[in-house]
Structure 1
Amino acid sequence: MEGSELTREWIRQRKRDPYYRKAKAEGYRSRATYKLKQIDSRVRLLKKGGRVLDLGASPGGWSQYAAERVGPGGLVVAVDLIPMDRIEGVTFIQGDISEKDTRERVKEISKEFDLIISDISPSLSGNRTLDRGRSLALAWEVMSFSGEVLRKGGNVVVKMFQGNEVDELKEGFASGFRRVDNIKPKSSLKRSIEMYLVFRGFEPSTEG
């Protein structure tokens, strides 16, 4: 199947997707909104007045839902290399989360967050081993930055691709949290290898 035909088929499948239609009907930017909504329904992460950092946020489906949940008394900061249209109640920073300058810009807005969320995904190559490795590298950056700005007792939701890399990320960071859950939301496509790690109850290191 040629590229243009693949694109048309993807569009046809997307339009048949109930979560795509639901997002359009309810005014959300992305079907991905329902992934965070279902995770939040299960583990109750978002609270009124909360401070949320969304890494890899564009087009903004997760930020949009987070802003609804924390309300006008809360804070949502969204970061992405890709531009994002304005969302009421969301402060957007265009930048690379692996770069010091971007991290400093986040800290200028808030030095601490209650929750860090990330639906960030690498550009897919079709090679699952390569894609899992890239996903791990991105998730590692998310967790690394989380250690700088997450308040004690705070939580992180980060996307991963299923494989040994999930255990590698857990081994790298689980000791800094009270518990870690693996969640695959109902709205994730059945054929997708994506899942989410929810790190809960951050305990900052007292070393050094």
Structure 2
Amino acid sequence: MGSQWGRDGYYRKARTEGYRSRAAYKLLDIQKRFQVIRRDDVVIDLGCAPGSWLQVLRGLTDEQVIGIDLNPVPPVEGAVILTGDFTTEYIREKVGAMITEVNVIVCDAAPNFSGNKSFDQARSVGLSEEACDFAVDFLKPGGNFVVKTFHGDMFHLILDKMRRNFYGVKVYRSEAARKGSTEVYIIGKKFKGRRNDSEG
């Protein structure tokens, strides 16, 4: 693993430019192509560890940035970080007490993989759907949502869910993704509002 990371240009670039992981360039790539975040947007980052997306977000918006992760994340200047499960009522209540409107939600989270391809893909899609549920509950109408998932037999489930809730939906593979990975991002723009979510 160490040799693979050592040869990775994005990994070396992240170390040079002060980002905590190469994933920073995935968000920068998405922002360059889709302009999902504006200077006056309040943004929530689901599954924010190790914090590289928070670092990028702090450079993209002047408004509040909140990160949520199951594990403690070292502080990122200018960001509020909550430790906990974003699917729980406890975290949802904490978020609701902090902000009244959310413009953008991003999620680069992935489950711990077991090596069983179909099982792992199901877990990945399930996590993406939970992130979408969170977005449906907190985004203001017209807001944007970016979520990572993986191609496979169940991919259509999260794609269909996104299309029910956003006027514009694009599937994008970042140039910063590792070769051979089935990782993609679904970008949802212009949230329709909760009344359009057929699953409630």
Aligned to 1:171: 160
Shift of 1:47: 1.3
Match of 2:106 in 1: 117
Question: How is 1:59-74 mapped onto 2 (pairs within 5 angstroms)?
Answer: 59-71=50-62, 74=63
The alpha carbon displacement at 1:163 in A equals: 1.4
- Does residue 49 of structure 1 match 2:40? yes
Superposition map of 1:11-26 within 5 A: 11-26=2-17
Ranges in structure 1 where 5+ consecutive residues have no aligned partner: 1-9
**C-alpha distance in structure 2 between counterparts of 1:81 and 1:205, whole Å:** 26
Query: Which TM-score applies when normalising by structure 1?
Result: 0.91
Q: Secondary structure in 2 aligned to 1:107?
A: helix
TM norm structure 2 = 0.95
The aligned counterpart of 1:92 is: 81
Residue 186 of structure 1: how far off its partner (Å): 0.3
Count matched residues.
197
- Choose from 141, 161, 184 the match for 1:195: 184
Q: Distance in 2 between matches of 1:36 and 1:172?
A: 22
The runs of at least 4 consecutive aligned structure 1 residues that moved more than 3 Å come to 205-208
Matched, 1:37 2:28: yes
What is the CA–CA distance in structure 2 between the aligned matches of 1:182 and 1:119, rounded to whole Å? 14
Distance 2:194 2:89 in 1: 21
| Cα RMSD for the two superposed structures | 1.3
Matches within 5 A, 1:108-187: 108-187=97-176
- How far apart, in 2, do the equivalents of 1:194 and 1:30 lie? 16
Rg larger for: 1
- The offset of 1:110, in angstroms, is 1.0
SS of residue matched to 1:154: strand
